Amino acid sequence: MRYSVFSLLAQTLRGHKGWQPTWRDAAPKPEYDVLVIGGGGHGLATAYYLASRHGIRNVAVIEKGYIGSGNVGRNTTIIRSNYLLPGNTPFYELSMKLWEGLEQDLNYNAMVSQRGVLNLYHSDAQRDAYARRGNAMRLAGVDAELLDREQVRAMLPFLDYENGRFPIQGGLLQKRGGSARHDAVAWGYAHAGDRNGVDIVQNCEVTGLSIENGRVTGVETTRGPIRAKKVAVAVAGNSSRVAAMAGLRLPIESHVLQAFVSEGVKPLIDTVVTFGAGHFYVSQSDKGGLVFGGDIDGYNSYAQRGNLPVIEDVMESAMALWPGVGRIRMLRHWGGIMDMSMDGSPIIDHTAVQGLYLNAGWCYGGFKATPASGFCFAHLIAKDEPHPVAAAYRLDRFATGRVIDEKGVGAQPNLH
C-alpha cells in the first residue's frame, strides 16, 4: 500500500476499515540470494537499498524478535553529521542527506525533525577543539556555526550559565541535525522493503551458520535451515555472538547504553543539546517527554537493562547543566546493547568467510548512521567492493594501524 492524501481520503470514506498491514509477516523460503541477519534499522535499510538501488529482490531480513525490538527502538533518536576525521565526515554527511529525503523515499512518516544539534563548550581548550571540528566540517561541505555564550543564552536561557565548575562559554551548532522517530524509521524501511519484494521474517533466531569449503551457504534458525548465496550480519551488540558461529573473533565489546524519558511537559527545548563537561545529551519528544542519554555502563553485558550508578551520573549531569529539570519526574528508562569497537568507529566489510559480510561496531553512532549504513552495506554486498564513503571502515584496520580514532575512547567506559 502506498500512502498519500488520496489513500487517506479513501479510507476516511470507508471508516478506516480498509487499511492493510504495512508489511507482510513472511514465512522463510528455502533459499535467497541475500539473507540479512538482524531486523533493526541497519538490516532493514540494507535490504531496502539492495532491492531499490541494486535490483536484488530475492532478499530476506530475519529477526529473532519483532521488528523494532532491538537498538533501533532503544535509542535517543539523534541525527547529526558533526564529525571531525576524514574517515567519518563523508559517511555521516551522506547519512544526513539521506535523512533529508527519507520520508519521500520510503513513503513513510519517520518524523524527521531538523531542529539542530548544539554541542556546548565550557573552557578555552574545548572552544578551540570545537572550532577545529567546525572548520573541518565546513571544509567537507557540512554546515557548522561556532556560537559564543550570549548566542547560546538567546537560544536556551534556562541553562546554568553561572555554574562555578562548568560555566557555559558557547557551543558548536549544526542546524541540519536533529532527531527522528526511531521506531517509525524501522517501520518505514520495513514498509518500503516489503513493497520492493523483501521478505521480513520475524521470530526467527539464527542458531548457526552453514559454511562449506570456506564459504557461507546459509543459516540454521529456529524456523529451520535457510540457504543463501550471501549472508549479511547487522545485529549490533550481538555481532560477536553471531561472528563466533563462523569462528570469527571481532575487535568489539558489548556494553549497555541506557536512555531515559521524563513525564510529558509543555514545549521547553526546541533543539538537541549536549553537555560538554560530561557525556549527557537532551532533547524533547513530540509527546513532550525530555529524552536523556549518557555513558555506557562500565562492564560487558548482553542485557537490555542498565545499573543505578549510570542513572545517578546522568541525572547529576542533567542538574549541572539545567537545574530546573530537577522539578520534572522521570517516567522510564531502558537499555540497548552497544557494539563498541576499539577505536569508536564502525566496520562495514567482508569477513574471512567468503560470502559473509559484517556491519558492526557502531558504538554511540548507530541510529544516526542508519540510512548511510544500509546504503553502503548494500553497495558492498551487491558489488563486492566498498562504497567510497565507507572505504575506511575496514575490519583489518586494527591490525594495520589505520584506526579512525574520532574521540580516543573506544570501548573503555572510564574514558567516556
Same domain (yes/no): 322, 368: no
Tell whether 121 and 260 lie within a shared domain.
yes
Does residue 83 sit in the same domain as residue 210?
yes
* Pairing outcome for strands 252-262 and 330-341: antiparallel
Same domain, residue pair 309 and 397: no
The CATH number linked to 377 is 3.50.50.60
Q: What is the mean pLDDT of the chain?
A: 95
What contacts 245, CB < 8 A, 6 or more positions away?
A: 206, 208, 209
pLDDT for position 292? 93
Say yes or no to pLDDT of 414 above 70: no
Given pLDDT bands bounded at 50, 70 and 90, which one contains residue 45? very high
Tell me, yes or no, whether 4 lies in a domain: no
Q: Which domain holds residue 273?
A: 117-175+254-341
**Residue 149 neighbours by CB distance under 10 Å:** 15
In a domain, 163, yes or no: yes
The arithmetic mean of pLDDT across residues 403-412, rounded, is 79
Indicate whether 243 and 294 sit together in one domain.
no
279-301 pLDDT tens trace: 899 999 999 999 999 999 988 99
Split at pLDDT 50, 70, 90, the class of 412 is confident
Per-residue pLDDT tens digits for 124-179: 999 999 999 999 999 999 999 999 999 999 999 999 998 889 999 999 999 999 99
- Which of 325, 341, 357 is the last residue in one of the domains? 341
H helical segments located in 124-181: 124-139, 149-155
387: number of Cβ within 10 Å = 19
pLDDT band at residue 413 under the 50/70/90 scheme: low
pLDDT confidence of residue 407 = 77
The total of structural domains in the chain comes to 2
DSSP 354: B
Cα–Cα distance measured from residue 329 to residue 97, given in angstroms and rounded to the nearest whole number: 36
368-378 pLDDT tens trace: 999 999 999 99
- % of residues, the chain, pLDDT over 70: 99
DSSP 4: -
Identify the pLDDT of residue 246.
97
Q: Nearest-CA neighbor of 42 among 347, 391, 389?
A: 347
Tell me if 295 sits within 8 A of 416, measured CB to CB: yes
Model pTM? 0.96
Q: What is the CATH number of the domain that holds 269?
A: 3.30.9.10
Checking 100-104 for CB contacts under 8 A at 24+ apart, the result is: 100/176, 102/180, 102/185, 102/188, 102/371, 103/188
Q: One-letter amino acid identity for 227?
A: R
Angle, in degrees to the nearest 10, between helices 41-54 and 182-195: 30
Same domain? For 103 and 189 the reply is yes
Using an 8 Å Cβ cutoff, are 318 and 160 in contact?
Answer: no
Domain end call among 326, 341, 356: 341
5 lies in some domain = no
| Together in a domain, 266 and 331 | yes
Please report whether residue 194 resides in a domain. yes
Is 18 contained in some domain?
Answer: no
Of the three residues 341, 359, 389, the one that is the final residue of a domain is: 341
Q: Distance between the two ends of the chain, CA-based, in angstroms?
A: 45
Residue 10 lies in a domain: no
Say whether both 189 and 323 belong to one domain. no
